[in-house]
């Protein structure tokens, strides 16, 4: 029988915890290492509806991309408006909780590589190389196999990730030949490389003043929303886990959802 310990060990191979940013909180956050695992549920955020789903579907192990425990927790109570409430309910129902976050972002085949592939990028490399030689590093830079316009690329990604709220910075008919991919929040990371008029930053969200910087530089950007930029990577993660253990069922949460809606 596959155990929580076994799944954790495999996840540390797929998305090594040492690749995570120093401020992050990845790995097993709650659970019995010796407990059996038959069914794994993957989500971006461990919201109450996801916990309800996990309990209803007899899930043994929840893989939450975003760590539901991030800052030091002084109390574990339920009901509560905090993320710790979900942890309490998972513990009470014998469900282990694991987070991958920036460890998976940096890994080969992780969330950044998945989004870069959806862009049609080839010859990708890390935007900011990690200390370990095998580490994929932060972000991705890649040339498009077929150059396209900013608008066409944005519409292609909107369909691919099923995003509700897509925005662009730059003229819609600008020709794009290279993408700088950073899932989630872009921050200052895309500006670690020289950007030109045929480049496009592809990310989840971007600060207003960073968007103004993009405009001043004469380059381009596409924002897909934080959740929508990260969600595609879960499918690759689920497939890797399923292939690793005989009889293990991996499922994407049907209740994990984009918080921002189009009006």
108-229, what's its fold? Answer: 3.40.1390
Q: Which of 155, 151, 117, 110 is nearest to 19 (CA)?
A: 110
Whether residue 135 is predicted with pLDDT greater than 70 in this model: the reply is no
As a whole number, the mean pLDDT across the chain is 95
Fold matches, 4-103 and 108-229: yes
Q: How far apart are CA 179 and CA 142, in angstroms?
A: 6
Instruction: Assess whether pLDDT exceeds 90 at residue 89.
Output: yes
pTM of the model: 0.94
Q: Which CATH class is domain 4-103?
A: alpha beta
- Is 90 exceeded by the pLDDT of residue 216? yes
Q: Are strands 96-99 and 138-149 parallel, antiparallel or unpaired?
A: unpaired
Task: Say which residues have a Cβ less than 8 Å from residue 152's Cβ, sequence separation at least 6.
Answer: none
Average of per-residue pLDDT across 67-73: 89
Average pLDDT of the residues in 119-130: 90
Give the pLDDT score at 232.
97
pLDDT digits (tens, 9 = 90+) for 145-190: 999 999 999 999 999 999 998 999 999 999 999 999 999 999 999 9
Percent of the chain with pLDDT over 90: 87
Nearest Cα residue to 258 out of 148, 139, 166: 166
How large is the average pLDDT for residues 41-57?
97
Could you state, in order of their start, the residue ranges of all structural domains in the chain?
4-103, 108-229
């Amino acid at each position: 029988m596959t155990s929580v310990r076994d799944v954790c060990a495999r996840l540390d191979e797929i998305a090594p915890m040492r690749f995570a940013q120093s401020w992050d909180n990845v790995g097993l956050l709650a659970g019995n290492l010796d407990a059996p695992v038959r069914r794994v549920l993957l989500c971006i955020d461990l919201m109450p509806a996801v916990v309800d789903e996990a309990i209803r579907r007899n899930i043994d192990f929840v893989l939450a991309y975003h760590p539901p425990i991030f800052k030091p927790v002084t109390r574990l109570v339920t009901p509560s408006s905090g993320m710790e409430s979900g942890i309490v309910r998972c513990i009470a129902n014998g469900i282990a909780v694991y987070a991958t976050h920036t460890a998976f972002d940096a890994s080969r085949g992780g969330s950044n590589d998945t989004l870069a592939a959806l862009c049609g990028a080839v010859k990708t490399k890390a935007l900011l190389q990690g200390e370990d030689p095998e580490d994929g590093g932060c972000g991705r830079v890649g040339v498009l196999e077929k150059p396209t316009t900013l608008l066409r690329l944005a519409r292609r990604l909107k369909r691919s990730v099923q995003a509700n709220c897509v925005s662009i910075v730059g003229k819609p008919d600008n020709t794009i030949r290279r993408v700088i991919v950073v899932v989630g929040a872009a921050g200052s990371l895309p500006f670690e490389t020289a950007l030109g008029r045929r480049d496009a930053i592809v990310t989840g969200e971007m600060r207003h003043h960073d968007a103004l910087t993009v405009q001043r530089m004469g380059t381009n950007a596409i924002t897909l929303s934080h959740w929508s930029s990260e969600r595609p990577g879960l499918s690759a993660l689920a497939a890797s886990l399923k292939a690793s253990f005989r009889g293990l069922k991996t499922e994407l949460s049907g209740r994990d959802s984009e918080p921002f809606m189009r009006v």
